């Protein structure tokens, strides 16, 4: 029995590469987080996914609360161990009736992590039903290792580079991972997954939080930042990220700008390396 997950859930993650749903916080707390996000969007006149979708845990205390939530970290610890860094976080709200989607891909493709041990906690702030475009996965596909991807330009694809798997894989047995507001799922970095457009009457909002054990390093030439969220780090492969003390403060914006610039540079380097090796 793990700290959060049952033995059956841990076995399911090992066998199929994912587990859901897992409870984190109540519906009312999820509404408060959503309200904080949408109040910021209203003040900025811009959706979060249009400018602050990468690493918002460095900008907002409410996101910092979520990434440190004991229920989330306990479940992550159950699958990758007690010493944990937050490597990356992205948020892609899907508006009601929008044609936006996420193509079939693997998270690991342009991360450049060695070893490729990374788990994504997808934390829902709104109900993510099948109709709303929840994640769809290929059970057991994490055992295939890294599959070939290519970039496909499509304005409706929420992935920053439109990366899509080009290698053949079996789509005959897929599984949807619906979660309610306040719940989350976990999936392995090599799990093949996508998500379809939101056909519901409400926004679909979730945070994709990428956690790694502290022994993992990034192979990019540039040194990246990552936040130590639990345990200790005796490897020091990343520069520390500071926790925000106020929402969208000057120091928070500076730390965020630095971290995102390094991440984008690494992502571009990993993309070039990946394409040259293909």
Q: What is the CATH code for 7-277? A: 2.60.120.620
Decide: 180 and 27 in contact? Cβ < 8 Å: yes
55 half-sphere exposure, CB direction, 13 A CA radius? 25
Decide: 247 and 124 in contact? Cβ < 8 Å: no
Identify the pLDDT of residue 161: 74
* Nearest partner of 107 among 254, 235, 22, 212, judged by Cα: 212
Identify the pLDDT of residue 150: 86
Identify the pLDDT of residue 273: 81
Q: Which residues of the chain have pLDDT under 50?
A: none
Domain-wise residue ranges, the chain: 7-277
3-state secondary structure 25-91: CCHHHHHHHHHHHHHHHHHHCCCHHHCCCECHHHCCHHHHHHHCCHHHHHHHHHHHCCCEEEEEEEE
Identify the pLDDT of residue 51: 79
- 236-241 contacts, C-beta under 8 A, 24 or more apart: 238/85, 238/87, 241/55, 241/57, 241/58, 241/86
Q: What is the CA radius of gyration of the chain?
A: 17
Q: Tell me the per-residue pLDDT of 37-47, one tens digit each, with 9 for 90 and over.
A: 999 999 999 99
Decide: 209 and 72 in contact? Cβ < 8 Å: yes
Residue 139 has a CB neighbour count (10 Å cut-off) of 15
Identify the pLDDT of residue 163: 84
Identify the pLDDT of residue 278: 61
Q: Tell me the per-residue pLDDT of 199-232, one tens digit each, with 9 for 90 and over.
A: 999 999 999 999 999 999 999 998 999 999 999 9
pTM, two decimal places = 0.96
Query: Who contacts 102 (Cβ-Cβ below 8 Å, separation ≥6)?
Result: 92, 157, 158, 159, 193, 194, 195
């Amino acid at each position: 029995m793990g700290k959060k997950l049952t033995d059956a859930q841990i076995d399911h993650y090992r066998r199929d590469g994912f587990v859901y749903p897992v409870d984190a916080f109540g519906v009312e707390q999820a509404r408060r987080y959503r309200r904080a996000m949408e109040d910021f969007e209203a003040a900025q006149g811009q959706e979060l996914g249009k400018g602050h979708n990468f690493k918002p845990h460095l900008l907002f205390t409410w996101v910092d609360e979520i990434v440190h939530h004991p229920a989330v970290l306990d479940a992550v610890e159950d699958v990758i161990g007690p010493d944990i860094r937050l490597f990356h976080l992205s948020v892609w709200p899907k508006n009601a009736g929008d044609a936006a989607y996420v193509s079939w891909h693997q998270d690991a493709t342009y991360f450049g992590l060695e070893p490729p041990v990374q788990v994504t906690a997808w934390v829902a702030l709104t109900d993510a039903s099948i109709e709303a475009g929840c994640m769809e996965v290929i059970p057991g596909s994490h055992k295939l290792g890294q599959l070939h991807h290519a970039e496909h330009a499509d304005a409706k694809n929420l992935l920053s580079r439109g990366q899509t798997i080009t290698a053949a894989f079996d789509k005959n047995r897929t599984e949807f991972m619906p979660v309610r507001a306040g719940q989350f799922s976990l999936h392995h970095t090599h799990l093949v997954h996508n998500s379809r457009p939101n056909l519901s009457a409400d926004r679909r909002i979730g945070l994709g939080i990428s956690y790694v054990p502290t022994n993992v390093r990034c192979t990019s030439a540039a040194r990246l930042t990552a936040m130590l969220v639990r345990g200790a780090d005796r490897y020091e492969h990343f520069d520390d990220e500071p926790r925000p003390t106020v929402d969208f403060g000057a120091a928070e914006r500076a730390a965020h700008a630095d971290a995102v610039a390094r991440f984008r540079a690494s992502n571009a380097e990993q993309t070039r390396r990946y394409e040259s090796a293909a």
